[in-house]
Amino acid sequence: MVNWFQNRSKVLSIKEGISEIAFYDEGRILNKLTVGGSAGDLYGTAYRRNDQGQLLINAQGFPDFTPQFVKAGNSMPDWIGSINNTITWKGISLSALFEYRKGGDVFDVTMRNAIRNGVLKITENRYQQVIFDGVKISDGRPNDIPVILDHNFYRNTNAFNNITDVILQDASWFRLRNVNLSYEVPKKWMERTKVVKGASVGVTASNFMLWTPYSGYDPGSTAFNAGYNVYGFTGSNIPNYSSVIFNLNLTF
C-alpha cells in the first residue's frame, strides 16, 4: 500500500486593516501569514548576499545581516510518502511501514542556548583566525579581512546564533515507522491441547529507525501541545521514543 501527500496553500486576503497575522514571535523566528504567502511561512534575520549569492562582509570582517525580518523558509514539507508492505510465508508474517518526508524547515527552540553554551559541534571552531568567504560591502572585492571566532562571535545574536542561515534546519526524514513480525502456530499443534484452538506470537517495534539531516531529537516532534496553530518549531519537550512490544495471542 502506497500513500503520497502534498499540501499547497496561498493567502488570498486578510481582513481590512490587518497587514499580517503572526502566530508566534519569540525574537528569532516568526511564523506569520501575509497576503500572497503560504501557511507555514517562517521569517527571521538572514545573512545579506549579492545577486550571485555571495555573502556580504562588513568592515569588521563578519557577514552582514538584514536589518528587518525576511522570509527565510516554510515549515510545510514539499511532500510526504509512505509504503506499507506485508509478506507472509508458512505462518510467518512480516510487515513494515516506511515514511519519507521531503523538505520543510524547522527551528529547534533549544538550539540558540546550546550554541551560546558551546555544546554543539558547529561551535567547535574557536579562537582561530578565519577569513569568511564573500565580498566586502565597501568595494565588492573578495573578502580578505581576518577575524577571530571566539565566544563573543557565537554568543552574538547579530553574528551567529540568531541568523536563519544557521538556526533553520532541513526537516526531511526517512523513517521506519513501524515493523511487526509474527508467527501463527500450526493448528495441528493446538489439537493436542484440546483447550487452545489457536495461538500466535509476535513482536512489534514503533519509531524503529530515523535518518534525517536535522541535528535535534526528531524533526517530527513539536515544541507546542496539540491545538496550537504554530508550525516549524521543535525542541523544549520530551523527544519521541521507540518501543518494542512482545505479544502472545491465544484462542480458546
Question: pLDDT of the chain along its 252 residues, tens only?
Answer: 999 999 999 999 999 999 899 887 777 889 999 999 999 999 999 999 999 999 999 999 999 999 889 999 999 999 999 999 999 998 899 999 999 999 999 998 888 888 888 888 888 888 889 999 999 999 999 999 999 998 888 888 878 888 999 999 999 999 999 999 999 988 777 777 777 778 889 999 999 899 999 988 888 888 877 777 788 888 877 777 889 999 998 888
The Cα 67–Cα 27 span in angstroms is: 13
The Cα 75–Cα 107 span in angstroms is: 9
Q: Quick one: which of 3, 4, 6, 186 has its CA closest to 85? A: 3
Dihedral sign of CA atoms 102, 80, 182, 91 in order: negative
The Cα 215–Cα 170 span in angstroms is: 9
Cell numbers 489439537 label which residue?
191
In DSSP notation, 22-59 reads EEEE-SSEEEEEETT--TTEEEEB-B-B-TTSPEEE-T
Coil vs helix vs strand at 150: coil
Sheet holding 173-184, edge to edge: 2-5, 79-89, 92-102, 173-184, 198-211, 243-251
* Global pTM value: 0.83
